[in-house]
């Protein structure tokens, strides 16, 4: 940008900073803005009522936004509420308004009842409704229009995730001067599954508006390129896709590549060394009766996470006497997720029913088999749980990455503990010293859990040390820098 941040900000009546009609050199576009609203009990407070979201994407990009005077485009979380652009903690934010119908049809409908199950190997059946698709297109256009309004000439725009797959092509059609990147945080399905989508060609065309399309795993990038070849007849050479216009001439070359996302390593490591959090971890063990082994699962309550498989394996181990409730406790944190969607309500009922059955069968007065926590917790409490747990269970049936696995390993600064990790997570590509397993194989899962429980200190130390080095060398800053460097290189090469 040409102007300084101090020159482009004014003050709203509520006291927060609001950008003027500025133009930005760097823009991030995601379904949600990187802030959450909260209400303050202090009516006299000068606080603007927003706090930075705790997610990994925000952690990765927020420092860059403050350094580059960039802007973040996204929905602010409240339907039917217009909101002017504003600034929070050095980030300029451009809200996109969504109506109640938009949230129902674009977000809960097409994004999370069509695309989400389709992209996760149809673990649950996807639904295909034309009204959802029409709204998805309209909302994607609204996001694209916000970028078009505020993007400077030649700006870099980084679009995030499956809710906004049409935005890249919309931007390229209106603003061919832009550098456009897209990152898909969830898996991309093989063509045989993607073929089910009635609007498959439009989605591929939308993504190919980007100069660089990033994925979590090489297999996801390969699936996308195969779909581009199959459904558009695109010419694919190595990782490059030659995109043709209506006249059959090549308009640009898009690149598909894996950029596995990571976590804020320094933040987790610092928390893991804090005396109060270490003491909290000890308190958690005491509250559970100091069992010999604490097993931990931390997930959104989502059918892709394999929580029922994990509970089934744990219950059978108790039934067979290979684990005893006096010696082993499973803590299952299941954060609330998409509770208005029927499949998620049914999953919650199933999980809570299974937990009740296990505890009713195996609890004693002194010991609880499963401590089930259907809450969101601050990062400090999560790190305390990581420190308290001897075994981390990640049993996802399909997962783009799974950052919980990386957080657990990072928190274990003394290289103790064991990670049981599904081979169907992106993390399995990087954390090869985890105890990998197939969550569909309940007997294999049980054997892997028992191996983790009895892992020798020397083997545990060797495995954890190797995994921690991998994560420390490839943190979230490394991820964002790699992607943006690759995007800049592609555009420079194409222009030369």
Confidence (pLDDT) at 210:
97
Check whether residue 272 and residue 203 sit in a common domain.
no
Range(s) of the domain holding residue 129 = 5-261+478-495
Using the predicted structure, report yes or no on whether residue 249 has a pLDDT greater than 50. yes
Q: Which residue has the tokens 């010419």?
A: 235
Please list, in sequence order, all residues whose beta carbon lies within 8 angstroms of the beta carbon of residue 328, skipping any fewer than 6 positions away: 291, 292, 293, 294, 295, 453
Q: Which of 69, 161, 299, 399 is catalytic?
A: 399
Check whether residue 184 and residue 316 sit in a common domain.
no
The average pLDDT across 50-71 equals 79
The CA distances from residue 133 to 89, 202, 243, in Å, are 36, 11, 24
Check whether residue 461 and residue 485 sit in a common domain.
no
The mean-pLDDT minimum among 45-54, 260-269, 471-480 falls in 45-54
Q: Which is more confidently placed, 418 or 338?
A: 418
Check whether residue 246 and residue 185 sit in a common domain.
yes
Using the predicted structure, report yes or no on whether residue 52 has a pLDDT greater than 70. yes
> pLDDT-based confidence at 106, cuts 50/70/90?
very high
Q: Which of 185, 242, 374, 482 is catalytic?
A: 185
Read off the pLDDT of residues 425-463 as tens digits, 9 standing for 90 and up. 999 999 999 999 999 999 999 999 999 999 999 999 999
The average pLDDT across 74-85 equals 94
Using the predicted structure, report yes or no on whether residue 2 has a pLDDT greater than 60. no
Read off the pLDDT of residues 109-164 as tens digits, 9 standing for 90 and up. 999 999 999 999 999 999 999 999 999 999 999 999 999 999 999 999 999 999 99
In 10 A of CB 52, how many CB atoms? 14
Check whether residue 320 and residue 399 sit in a common domain.
yes
For 121, counting Cβ atoms within 10 Å of its Cβ (0-12 exposed, 13-18 middle, 19+ buried), the class is: middle
Using the predicted structure, report yes or no on whether residue 7 has a pLDDT greater than 80. no
- Told to judge if 25 belongs to the known catalytic residues of this protein, a careful annotator would answer no
CATH number of the domain to which 295 belongs = 3.40.50.2000
Confidence (pLDDT) at 221:
98
The average pLDDT across 327-347 equals 90
Check whether residue 52 and residue 194 sit in a common domain.
yes
Check whether residue 277 and residue 209 sit in a common domain.
no
Cα–Cα dist 208/159, whole Å: 12
Of the candidates 204, 121, 190, the one whose C-alpha atom is nearest the C-alpha of residue 399 is 121
Check whether residue 153 and residue 242 sit in a common domain.
yes
Read off the pLDDT of residues 186-230 as tens digits, 9 standing for 90 and up. 999 999 999 999 999 999 999 999 999 999 999 999 999 999 999
Using the predicted structure, report yes or no on whether residue 13 has a pLDDT greater than 80. no
- Told to judge if 399 belongs to the known catalytic residues of this protein, a careful annotator would answer yes
Check whether residue 255 and residue 124 sit in a common domain.
yes
Average predicted confidence (pLDDT) for the chain: 91
pTM of the model: 0.92
Number of domains the chain contains: 2
Cα–Cα dist 464/209, whole Å: 41
Using the predicted structure, report yes or no on whether residue 42 has a pLDDT greater than 50. no
Check whether residue 271 and residue 228 sit in a common domain.
no
Give CA torsion, residues 357, 358, 362, 364, to 10 deg. Answer: -80
The average pLDDT across 167-186 equals 97
Check whether residue 253 and residue 384 sit in a common domain.
no
> pLDDT-based confidence at 20, cuts 50/70/90?
low
Confidence (pLDDT) at 10:
44
Check whether residue 466 and residue 482 sit in a common domain.
no
The average pLDDT across 298-322 equals 97
- For the chain, the first-to-last Cα distance in angstroms comes to 23
């Amino acid at each position: 940008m040409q102007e300084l941040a101090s020159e482009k900000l004014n003050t709203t009546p509520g006291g927060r900073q609001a950008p003027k009609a500025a133009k930005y050199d760097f823009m991030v576009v995601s379904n949600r803005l990187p802030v959450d609203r909260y209400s303050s009990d202090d009516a006299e407070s000068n606080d603007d009522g927003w706090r930075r979201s705790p997610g990994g994407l925000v952690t990765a990009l927020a420092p860059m936004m403050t350094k580059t005077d960039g802007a973040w485009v996204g929905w602010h979380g409240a339907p039917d509420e217009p909101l002017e652009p504003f600034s929070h903690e050095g980030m300029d934010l451009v809200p996109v308004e969504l109506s109640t119908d938009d949230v129902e049809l674009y977000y809960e409908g097409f994004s999370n009842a069509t695309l989400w199950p389709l992209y996760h190997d149809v673990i649950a059946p996807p639904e295909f409704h034309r009204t959802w698709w029409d709204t998805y297109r309209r909302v994607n256009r609204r996001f694209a229009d916000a970028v078009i309004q505020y993007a400077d000439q030649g700006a870099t725009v980084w679009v995030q995730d499956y809710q906004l797959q049409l935005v890249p092509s919309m931007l390229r059609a209106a603003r061919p001067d832009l550098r456009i990147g897209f990152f898909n945080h969830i898996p991309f399905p093989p063509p045989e599954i993607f073929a089910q989508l009635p609007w498959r060609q439009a989605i591929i065309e939308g993504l190919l508006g980007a100069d660089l399309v990033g994925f979590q795993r090489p297999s996801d990038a390969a699936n996308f390129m195969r779909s581009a070849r199959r459904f558009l007849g695109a010419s694919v050479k190595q990782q490059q896709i030659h995109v043709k216009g209506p006249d059959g001439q090549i308009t640009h070359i898009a690149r598909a590549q894996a950029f596995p996302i990571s976590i804020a390593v320094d933040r987790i490591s610092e928390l893991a060394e804090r005396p109060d959090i270490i003491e909290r971890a000890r308190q958690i063990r005491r509250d559970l009766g100091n069992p010999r082994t604490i097993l931990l699962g931390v997930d959104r309550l989502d059918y892709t996470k394999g929580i029922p498989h994990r509970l089934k394996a744990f219950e059978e181990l108790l039934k067979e006497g290979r684990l005893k409730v006096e010696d082993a406790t499973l803590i299952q944190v299941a954060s609330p997720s998409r509770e208005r969607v029927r499949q998620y309500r049914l999953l919650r009922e199933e999980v809570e029913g299974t937990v009740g059955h296990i505890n009713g069968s195996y609890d004693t007065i002194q010991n609880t088999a499963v401590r089930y926590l259907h809450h969101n917790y601050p990062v400090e409490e999560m790190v305390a749980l990581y420190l308290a747990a001897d075994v981390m269970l990640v049993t996802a049936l399909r997962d783009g990455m799974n950052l919980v696995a990386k957080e657990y390993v990072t928190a274990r600064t003394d290289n103790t503990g064991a990670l049981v990790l599904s081979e169907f997570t992106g993390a399995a590509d990087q954390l090869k010293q985890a105890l990998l397993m197939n969550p569909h194989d309940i007997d294999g899962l049980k054997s892997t859990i028992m191996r983790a429980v009895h892992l020798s200190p020397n083997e545990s130390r060797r495995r954890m040390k190797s995994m921690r080095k991998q994560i420390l060398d490839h943190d979230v800053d490394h991820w964002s820098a790699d992607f943006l460097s690759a995007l800049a290189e592609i555009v420079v090469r194409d222009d030369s």
